[in-house]
Amino acid sequence: MTSDLYEILEVDVSATNAEIKKAYRKLALKYHPDKATEDDREQSETRFKEISHAYEVLIDETRRQEYDTYGTTDGRRTGGEGFDYNGNPFEDFYGGAQQDFSANDFYNFFNNMGGAGGPPGGAGRSRSKPRTKDAELEVDVTLEDLFKGKVIRTTSTRDIVCTHCKGSGAKKNAAMKKCGVCEGEGSVRKIRRVGPGLVTQDYIECETCHGVGKIYRSKDKCKKCLGKRVVDETKILEFEILKGSKSGESIVLTKESDEYPGKETGDVVMTFHCKEHVVFTRKGDDLFAKYKIPLVDSLCGFSKVLVKHLDGRGIQVSTPKGKVIRPGDYIKIKNEGMPVKHDPKKNSWFSSSAGKRGDLYIEVDIEFPPDNWYLEKNDILKAKNLLPNDLQNKRDTEKQTIDESSLPEANIELITDFTISRENALPDYAEDRPEEDTHEEYYGTHDDFGGAQPECSQQ
């Protein structure tokens, strides 16, 4: 829309109300849609609305004063999108309502001063090219997919610029006319508040010509796109998930979203999430699994296939005879974890992750025999003869040894009535803990401060 309302009515800035009314009647009769031919009716309607709007603003003394001061045609507006032009523009600095605004808003405001944010084509003026929306996809993948890599193919239907009319929406030889609303610029100005006492101007797409800057008669619509300027296109899109990729990562196919004349084409973004795995848990590039063995294997050694790997291989482990595996121990197998992600596009001769892999950690859970496990009493004697009967650390022995001669006579009590409790069956003593020890929820756990978090948790 022409920014100067006085130019629309073809009057001087100092024109009186009588002169404004006279100019309005003259132009209204000239551009009234009922007097226009069928070919020119659409443009006349646009011009008539423009003239009527200018008249409504300038004939009202209050709105005219606001327009002369602030350049707005929207009247009194409040809230995040508008500005209260009926009062002091700096009212919010002195007791008025406080509004939220960011440093970027200040930057845009000062950057737009001097015409920097003006319409396209003006000297010293620039604005970013509008962009179509990105298409976003979310898919679930397995840990096997991330281990071996995978290509996901999907059918995509999007809008592309009509090749028949080259995005104009009109026939090849149609008489295109400049849009009277945006004056052929494809955008119109909008005043927006960015903070207390601060306003800036934005340029939004013209709704009449949809950013093209030209209009045409209804009967001149393109036969292929029917005036929409775009047509449908169906194609197959391929997303390559590289080996070692992590859950939550995204793959971007640039300029594969919808097209539209005068706009930059958006991207198609696919985000993948790893499903839980029944065996493995991933932490970084390492894999974790659990395996339970009987007590005899932890003491005497074993040779077993512990897990089936993500690529189908069986992982067999043989422990040396006499190598004792204790509760809480992990069997670490180097280079049997996840592949370290390698992007060929970013590869260089001095730094390459190709072929590198994390480690595999198998947590050993030792199952102790049940009570009364022996068949004969002699079995217990045999076990005692085979296994060490003394503590390895002499200090532990000295600390736990009690000199019975130092006890008063007949002051040793034999206890036979007792039970064995597990840690999870102990009473809860949380209420007796010092206050500083009960802030785990506030401070977080070890994993909250740098411990690796599993991306694919075990079921």
CATH 1.10.287.110 location in the chain: 1-71
pLDDT of residue 127: 53
SS3 label, residue 385: helix
Lowest mean pLDDT across 198-202, 324-328, 395-399: 198-202
Q: What is the domain class of 1-71 according to CATH?
A: mainly alpha
Mean pLDDT score across all residues of the chain:
78
Whether 90 shows a pLDDT value over 80: the answer reads: no
Q: How far apart are alpha carbons 388 and 116 in whole angstroms?
A: 86
Q: How far apart are alpha carbons 402 and 394 in whole angstroms?
A: 14
Residue 167: HSE in the Cβ half-sphere, 13 Å Cα cutoff: 12
- Residue 229 DSSP class: S
The residue-averaged pLDDT of 228-253 equals: 94
pLDDT of residue 91: 41
Q: Give me the amino acid identity at 353.
A: S
CATH 2.60.260.20 location in the chain: 130-165+229-276, 277-344+353-402
CATH 3.90.1150.10 assigned to domain 130-165+229-276? The reply is no
Hey, what's the torsion of the CAs at 73, 77, 79, 81, to 10 degrees?
-10
Longest dimension (CA), the chain: 128
CATH code: domain 277-344+353-402 is 2.60.260.20
127-176: pLDDT as tens digits:
567 789 999 999 999 999 999 999 999 999 999 999 988 888 888 877 77
403-441: pLDDT as tens digits:
777 777 656 666 777 777 777 887 877 765 555 554 444
